[in-house]
Amino acid sequence: MVSVSFVTLGCAKNLVDTEKMLGLLAEGGLAIVAADMLADVTIINTCGFIEDARQEALEEIDRALEAKQAGEVGRVIVTGCLAQYWGERLFAERPGIDAVVGLSSRDEIAKIALTVANKSGTAIENGEFTGVSNDQTRLRITEGCWSYLRISEGCDRWCSFCTIPLIRGKFRSKRPDAILAEAAELAGDGVRELNLIGQETSRYGDDIGYEAGLAGLLRELDKVDGLRWVRVIYTHPASMSNELIEAMSQCKKVVPYVDMPLQHINDRILKLMKRRVGRADTEKLLIKMRERIPNLSLRTTMLVGFPSETEAEFAELLEFVKQQRFEALGCFAYSLEKDTKSAEAGPMVPSEVRQERAARLMEAQQEIAFAKADELKGKEVECMILAQYPPSESAELGLKTNRDFYQARSAAQAPEMDSECWLRVEDAKLAKRIAEGSFVRARIEGRSDYDLRGVVKEIVG
């Protein structure tokens, strides 16, 4: 039997691709082994979004090629976004690679792995990616109680700094019946929380004539038995409709959480970024969302050091962040991508200035996040249990307990992006009933940096 080890890099969309490929490999009769074990084939699912991600991918490829040279790995396959983006270039720069498999050939991974394992030579499979992925029958590698559900592929926005349309193609919605079938399958497998992903989830459906859009899809997902939380990630301010906001406020299973990368707030920079939305409309949208969606948690992402960004324009962004007090915020320093239009936007901001601005923005956000966490002390929140740990590991989290404690998330905390909750249980009988995927009511007692600490009061689901 051919053995395969798998390494995955990049975003949640890449993770879904990895899970699908793992499922296909298992169905194809290949044995999946840990990344640190001897394997006939190592597959590396890469990210190619920005230079840092590409360098991380190349370092991982080099490690695999060194293992191949040492006889620890038989063959090396590179797949994912970098495989799609660079194709033949990967062979030229890393001649030890045995196969490059682009996004369009993801579903052929088992056949390709078997072929590569049984004969020498190289192969490339990276035709134009124009389809919509069928992500059912995945072999999931997240905790069993939650999962990502991809509702679309690609993007048509062509923001001037972004390579996604070049890699993943134009925007394509997955059919609603396919999404609902996948949601039912996941719920049947024990998933309690679905996190909807795509390059622009808020635009869902307009390319396939699904007039109900994401609002209608949320109302259908609200009916899926077994689910308790549905979370919306990767929205865009230009496509957040009144109908979508209304659906989010009305659907019982849709948590009051929105991830909406804004990138900047200065009108000149937004225009250069080709974001198709200005400051005034953005501020109106934020006010509307907070008014109509009770207890809303807003996460955003900012991009600083864009070509020609002045200190005054950065200061405007910094003041905006302080005013808005986002529940969560990530920040990237601009990375020059030669195949994008952003290089033509104006003179480059020096690297050290870009990094310094990113650090200043995150320092301001840290103060906001810590203050918001402190405001939760003494309040009770609903959390989903992710994992259980022995008391010996509790000290560094500030948990004084002689019992097992639990890793959890609240509705305001998205997986792999936000902080988490660390909970203790005082009642031994209650502790025996708690399991992965349990929903509990917890009283917040404090924080450890960004993470919250608390005590479980009761099981609620």
What is the tens place of the pLDDT at every residue in 311-320?
999 999 999 9
Instruction: Report residue 11's pLDDT band, with 50, 70 and 90 as the boundaries.
Output: very high
- Between 24-28, 345-349, 442-446, the lowest mean confidence (pLDDT) is in 345-349
- Check whether 218 has a pLDDT greater than 90: yes
Pairing of strands 439-448, 380-389: antiparallel
Nearest to 10 by CA among 36, 43, 48: 48
**pLDDT score recorded for residue 49:** 85
Who wins on pLDDT, 343 or 444? Answer: 444
* pLDDT value for 380: 98
pLDDT at 396: 77
pLDDT over 80 (residue 123) = no
Q: Please report which confidence band the pLDDT of residue 121 belongs to, taking 50, 70 and 90 as the band edges.
A: low
CA distances from 2 to 28, 66, 70, 227 (A): 10, 20, 19, 37
pLDDT at 124: 72
Proportion of the chain above pLDDT 70, given as a percent:
98
pLDDT attached to residue 351: 96
Reported as a single tens digit per residue, the pLDDT across 68-109 is 999 988 999 999 999 999 988 998 899 899 999 999 899 999
Q: Grade residue 118 by pLDDT with cuts at 50, 70 and 90.
A: confident
- Candidates 49, 116, 93, 101; CA nearest to 332 is 49
How confident is the model over 394-427, as pLDDT tens digits?
Answer: 877 778 788 889 999 999 999 999 999 999 998 8
Chain position carrying tokens 């010996």: 392
pLDDT at 182: 97
Neighbours of 324 (CB within 10 A): 18
Instruction: Over range 146-159, report the average pLDDT.
Output: 95
State the pLDDT confidence band at 129, using cuts at 50, 70 and 90. Answer: confident
Give 441-446's long-range contacts (Cβ < 8 A, gap of 24+).
441/380, 441/381, 441/382, 441/383, 442/380, 442/381, 442/382, 442/383, 442/408, 443/378, 443/379, 443/380, 444/376, 444/377, 444/378, 444/379, 444/380, 444/381, 445/377, 445/378, 446/377, 446/398
Segment among 115-129, 175-189, 268-282, 336-350 with least mean pLDDT: 115-129
Q: Cα dihedral sign for 250, 256, 257, 263?
A: positive
pLDDT, position 346:
86
Please check the confidence at residue 393 and state whether its pLDDT lies above 90: no
- With a threshold of 0.75, does the pTM exceed it? yes
Q: How confident is the model at residue 120 (pLDDT cuts 50, 70, 90)?
A: low
pLDDT at site 122 = 63
Residue 331 has pLDDT above 90, yes or no: yes
- C-alpha to C-alpha distance for 359 and 366, rounded to whole angstroms: 10
Weakest-pLDDT range from 26-40, 225-239, 377-391? 26-40
Average pLDDT, the chain: 94
- Positive or negative CA dihedral for 235, 240, 244, 250? positive
